[in-house]
Amino acid sequence: MVVRVRFAPSPTGRLHLGSIRTALFNFVFAKNQKGVFILRIEDTDKERSKKEFVDDIIESLKWLKLDPDEGPIFQSERIEIYRKVIEELLDKGKAYRCFCSKEELETKRQMQITKGEPPRYDGTCSKLSKEEINEKLSKGTPYVIRLKVPEQIITFKDFLRGDIKYDLRLIGDFIIAKSETEPLFHLATPVDDYYQGITHIIRGAEHIPNTPKQILIFKAMNWKIPVYAHIPLILGEGGGKLSKRHGAKSVLEYREEGFLPEAIINFLILLGWHPKGDKEIISMKEIIEEFRLEDVEKRPAIFNVKKLLWLNKIYLRRLSSVEIENLILNDPYLEDLKIYLENENYTKEKIHKIIELGKERANNIREIFETVKFFYQDFDYNKELLIWKDYTFEQIKNSLIQVKNTLENIPEEKFNADYLKQVLDTLNEDKGLTYWPLRVALTGLEASPPPIDIMLIIGKEKTLKLIDKAIEKLS
């Protein structure tokens, strides 16, 4: 048997990390089993489905290198298949047209609630004769199509959770289509799963209540039921519902913020599955080799933003300055960062050095330039920031004057890291008295790259100007 799995998002909004995790689990399972990964766009909701969200889905998968083997397949182009299934269900008496109005249904619902009964359709229209049905059709009475649901307890086997029981008496005859050409989720999904030969349905645990309804379609059509595996929910920090406040942004928002696809993949796979030895850093190649569906956890996973930042930082540090430059030049989502690469004040070599300095403190590509913004723009700071330990303003000023005089006497050919360190280290017994005010003078920041690294990039002339500015603040 060739394993065939699918990722089936609805294009009604931007693709979030929770959804892309489902795609990832399907993708790696397919690759591990040498199977097929299918992208299906469930766009039968004409009002909410938008092309921009289809593009967002496709671009998100492409960026993360979760390329489908088949698709995208659009449900909106498969209406004829659904129509034939609906007609077959009607002909077999497995489904029926329901002509009850919204007002009638609401009245019945309120009566059931008053009696303490679960609200469900009472099957009134299932008892209509052919003549009554034809009469209503001839009058143009609006209708929906319902599936006949047996009053019994259904048991289905979940690959991860074992047997799950569901009392069908709680749901009643549910709607599967608004008309013969307007299928709803609970019909279109199992129909596509059958015709596309899906062997394993791997999706989020929130779909567990949908599974009995979709199995009923398989049973009604005498189709083989695929294997269901419901992966754990993702919760926000603290155990609550995942929200944007917890970091649940869209995939491409993370791309715009300068996150790396390898870090996103690494982070998401650990939300519900762990490799042997509990290693935290794992490549896609290793994931595919080690992944076993039976090892996926059942308990909810916690979305830890700090861990995502930590992982992204690790992957960022692994990149060379040239690789980071190429990422910025070739990614349209980072196009605004090109101004830092094309700055006329710095050579290509110096820009690469700036990137190397910036990435040490950055969580993502954008933060590289945030942490070294003093290279690109004028800055100001309070003179109190120049103070080191308990030294007075006068002592700090004298130290800066001493540094300035020393630097002025260094010829250009000796303005290098080794010589600068050699002479600056001798100025004060407390080296912090030399380097702390110098750091602040060059950056306006409390935390920054080492002052000598900065001096070598901005040059002797600008270094002296910035020291003068600090001395003037203290005068």
**Which residues are known to be catalytic?**
244
Q: Residues for the chain: how many in total?
A: 475
Joined together, the tokens standing for residue 147 give 């599936």
Distance CA 378, CA 436 (A): 20
- Say which DSSP state 14 is in: P
Distance CA 236, CA 329 (A): 34
Joined together, the tokens standing for residue 102 give 């919204």
Which of 430, 429, 421 minimizes the C-alpha distance to 453? 421
**HSE toward the beta carbon, residue 47, CA cutoff 13 A:** 1
* DSSP letter string, 333-348: GGGGGHHHHS-TTS-H
Distance CA 222, CA 37 (A): 25
Q: How far is CA 415 from CA 95, 232, 390, 453, in A?
A: 86, 59, 31, 11
Residue 70: its H or E element? strand 70-74
Place of tokens 């994931």: 287
